[in-house]
Amino acid sequence: MARYFDVHPSNPQPRALTQVADLIRGGGLVAYPTDSGYALGCRLGNRDGLDRIRAIRHLSDKHHFTLVCSEFAQLGQYVQMDNDVFRAVKAATPGAYTFILQATREAPKAMLHPKKRTVGVRVPQHTTALALLHTLGEPLVSSTLILPGHDEPMTDGWQVNDELGAQLDAVLDSGDCGLEPTTIVDLSADEPEITRYGAGDPEPFEA
């Protein structure tokens, strides 16, 4: 059963963040708020965590998991960016976008698209999400918490806990959460392709 942590939206309590980070380091799966709804997250290299996310969301092995980072500077370790892509992604972060890019060797193989060798990356603009990432000290492997049969992400921590608590190790709730999923922009080919329209303004990436 998940442990439920209710923290302040503008000044999340460090003790609670440390406890959630410890659960993640120990192999746990957590639900946490972002600027684009709730997300499910686990530690890099946690194959069991990825399997649990797939089971909750009914995902195939072709699903793009996302590396959620605390700052733009972390992205270069995991994805390849030429100068144009570098400038475009930097201008849009932090924000409600997920970018699909070619992975570097540092990106965990278990989360890559099996054929394209691509991975999703993002930097959220949400106080609690960023505080958790800073406390953890590394990116989270994540997926937007959109349940099977639904088009929008879950947005209330208490509801996440009620419906999914038995399948999670922690729910982090700060009372504030974005209502739309991220806009997904595939930058792995020559031309940008928007594969999901969401909270991020698509205009900078449309021809």
| Whether pLDDT at 207 is above 70 | no
Q: pLDDT tens, 21-63? A: 999 999 999 999 999 999 999 999 899 999 999 999 999 877 8
How far are the Cα atoms of 49, 79, 109, 154 from residue 103, in angstroms, in the given order? 20, 4, 9, 28
Q: What is the pLDDT of residues 119-155, one digit of tens each?
A: 999 999 999 999 999 999 999 999 999 999 998 999 9
pLDDT of 158 > 80? The answer is: yes
On whether the CB atoms of residues 145 and 154 are closer than 8 A, the answer is yes
Q: CA separation (Å) from 45 to 36, 40, 59, 111, 164?
A: 24, 15, 18, 9, 23
Cβ–Cβ under 8 Å, residues 89 and 75: yes
Ordered structural domains, the chain, with CATH? 3-205 (3.90.870.10)
Q: What is the pLDDT of residue 116?
A: 84
Quick check: helix, strand or coil at residue 172? Answer: strand
- Percent of the residues in the chain that have a pLDDT greater than 70, as a whole number: 100
